[in-house]
Structure 1
């Protein structure tokens, strides 16, 4: 077979493929898969609890990318009367507050002298020097745990 014959054969096969594709499109539209009846992935209940807190108390529990704010000491006791309204149990509420207050974003807000806020977002007290030092220590220790893993990674530069 010569190049001319191969080129003609290629054109013929491409034309047939195009016609077959057009014929299948014209026959019937593709059926879409049915929507899943349940959630594809289960979401941690703490995430749902935090979302409820953010919706009900946006000044005390701001959504990302807004920075977190230091919460007043005893905020959990202030939240307990709202637990049923939020659809949370005491332990679910406790887990949500505990998770909210753990993490670099919260620890960054814990600066000495920063205003602590109540559920309405109004100032109630300030971050003490001891609390600020503890937050700084927690941020540093989290960073120290992450560094050895990065050091173990192979260097991509030759």
Structure 2
């Protein structure tokens, strides 16, 4: 998600909260754009990605287990997916969407950073139901390092691709001459 999309999401959530409290929503300040620079209206980011939609709904209904950024993520109870499956109707999600959302949540760097030894694991209501073991903390640390390495390799490939200009492949003059 880009910064503009996150800002739009923040503003929309503020407006929904104010409407729920009976206040008149304030209009967010937007940077002025020239008409020719304005991008065509696109679907909202959470409507494009079922995982993002699922995470948004989990955050709305279970804010202690799925805190909104910048609050740090918390280690979740082992088997949290089974608990969340009991609330599919409340969440308005399919089982596949729920699985995508929980998987995306639990494979992020912020989540792995929360997985430190003896940290409490929380259920959907924010109640501690276990702790992170040393092995789980080590695994999370390894996963975070692996993801950072992948990101660095991807970034260096992009830089290399930007430095090289697209040219036709060099052709060997001898290979083009007809054999006699």
- From the superposition, tell whether residues 65 and 37 of structure 1 become closer, same or farther in structure 2 (CA, over 3 Å): closer
Please state how far the C-alpha of 1:151 moved relative to its aligned partner. 4.6
Partner SS, residue 46 of structure 1: helix
2:94 paired with 1:89: yes
The match for 2:69 is 64
Partner SS, residue 39 of structure 1: coil
Q: Distance in 1 between matches of 2:154 and 2:124?
A: 38
Q: Distance in 2 between matches of 1:151 and 1:82?
A: 43
Map of 1:42-61 to 2, 5 A cutoff? 43-61=48-66
Partner SS, residue 61 of structure 1: coil
- Structure with the larger RCO, 1 or 2 (CA within 8 Å, 6+ apart): 1
Q: Distance in 2 between matches of 1:40 and 1:65?
A: 21
* Alignment RMSD (CA, Å): 2.3
* 1:102 counterpart (86, 92, 107): 107
Contact 2:64 / 2:124 at 8 angstroms: preserved in 1?
yes
Please state how far the C-alpha of 1:89 moved relative to its aligned partner. 1.1
2:151 paired with 1:146: yes
Between Structure 1 and Structure 2, whose CA radius of gyration is higher?
A: 1
- From the superposition, tell whether residues 55 and 140 of structure 1 become closer, same or farther in structure 2 (CA, over 3 Å): same
> Between Structure 1 and Structure 2, how many residues are aligned?
120
- From the superposition, tell whether residues 59 and 39 of structure 1 become closer, same or farther in structure 2 (CA, over 3 Å): same
- From the superposition, tell whether residues 149 and 94 of structure 1 become closer, same or farther in structure 2 (CA, over 3 Å): closer
Normalised by the length of structure 1, the TM-score is 0.69
Contact 2:73 / 2:114 at 8 angstroms: preserved in 1?
yes
Contact 2:74 / 2:122 at 8 angstroms: preserved in 1?
yes
Query: Please, which runs of 5 or more residues in structure 1 have no aligned partner?
Result: 1-31
* 2:124 counterpart (119, 126, 130): 119
Q: String of CA shifts for 1:65-111, please: whole Å, max 9, x gaps.
A: 00000000111111111001111111111111111101100000000
Contact 2:50 / 2:100 at 8 angstroms: preserved in 1?
no
* 2:84 counterpart (79, 88, 91): 79
